[in-house]
Amino acid sequence: MRVITLEQLPSVLGHLPKNPRVITSGNFATPRALLAAFDSVVPEYRLHMLNAHQPIPDREGVTYETAFVGPAMRNHPSLRYLPSRLSLLPVLVRDHVRPDVVLVNTSRRHYDTVSLGIEVNMLPMAIETARAYGGVVIAQSNASMPYTYGDAQIYESEIDFLIEVDEPLATHDPVEADSISQGIGDRIAAQISDGSTLQLGIGAVPDAVLGALIKRKGLRIWTEMFSDGVLNLHKAGALDEEVPITASFIFGSSELYEWLHLNRRVRMMRTEISNNPAAIARQALMTSVNGALQVDLFDQANASRLKGRIYSGFGGAPDFTSGALHARGGQSFVALPSWHPKANVSTIVPLLTDPVTTLQHSAVVTENGIAEVFGRTQGEQANNIIEQAAHPDAREELREQAHAFGLL
């Protein structure tokens, strides 16, 4: 590993192929200073990152590529979406979208290592693939990045060049849940017992679920990502102190990042481990909670596309939905408001017209109730979704469609 400055970066990039593929940290861990310096030197390249947030380079010559679309790439004309469950994304990187350059945002050096901090995901595989096929790995060693353990730890020998910066991390502060999100969260929380293992994403409903669980005991975390709700469970003494908190990426408040730094209770794992359905299935009372844009009468959920266009992607929802249902005592909930106020339409629909993201859940949960679906006949599934989850204004039309489908 060689330590250089941002000003020296052009001197180490002269050997790159035309239109190189660049894989970089995504979510809230983007190495902005390093990426901006790279962008100023390389006229044309493919930028691959997960859940990209602004600012990222946006100009002619830069093509976007991702398996999970974030707000910075959504609806962009240069976007190339790569359908993949997150558990399989490392396979995609290793065999199909090999990087010429890997740019990562890491902690300061700790002995002979740095840490990927709050974003692990596909990055270990990207680093390994770049080194195996002649690519270059460049680390932005950032004073603001917490040092986390597990697969986040990267040896200096795995890095070609390191540039020291001091760049604040983007933060996400939780907002108070509205009445609908709180109602959904309370219903799901009531189904979760002491000793359960949790997977929840970020947003109003997951925050509401976690907020309603602070009086539980012995909870465990095996999740794709977490935010401040898990820190609040720790403060309340609701977590099993003897079991590591396992995740693949994190974003939240500055307080959360400070708590993560050198915290051996938190184990960051590469996504092919954290999202492996077989590993998920081994967790005690595994309980998965994922959102959706629409659910139909066949218990199929669309969480990826809006009006036919890619909105986000598969993410980890298929991995955790499947893994949770295979776990002994496991549960998988799909949660959503029953009505979309902006579009003024029901989110419970007769049959999805967009591709399916997940199917076969334990229950569909809205502010109206919990519709149990797994273990029921297709007719019972449809009836429960209509009568217990759908908005009252949509039920008559849904009943008519269910009869037309031969479900009722």
Element spanning 81, H or E? strand 80-81
Find where tokens 């010429």 sit.
100
Q: Each residue of 263-307: pLDDT tens digit? A: 999 999 999 999 999 999 999 999 999 999 999 999 999 999 998
CA–CA gap between residue 214 and residue 127 (Å, rounded): 38
- Which structural domains are found in the chain, ordered by start? 2-165 (3.40.1080.10), 179-404 (3.40.1080.20)
pLDDT tens-digit map of 9-68: 999 998 899 999 999 999 999 999 999 999 999 999 999 999 999 999 999 999 999 999
User: Crossing angle, helix 179-189 and helix 204-211, to 10 degrees?
Assistant: 50
Question: Which of the 8 DSSP states describes residue 14?
Answer: T
Q: Are strands 348-349 and 294-296 parallel, antiparallel or unpaired?
A: parallel
CB 132 within 8 A of CB 126: no
**In sequence order, what are the beta bridge partners of 141?**
106, 164
Q: Which two tokens stand for residue 111?
A: 């002995």
Question: For the whole model, what pTM was predicted?
Answer: 0.95
Instruction: Single out the catalytic residue among 119, 224, 272, 367.
Output: 224
Is 60 one of the catalytic residues?
A: no
What's the N-to-C CA distance of the chain in angstroms? 66
What does pLDDT average to over the chain? 96
pLDDT in tens, 338-379: 999 898 999 999 999 999 999 999 999 999 999 999 999 999
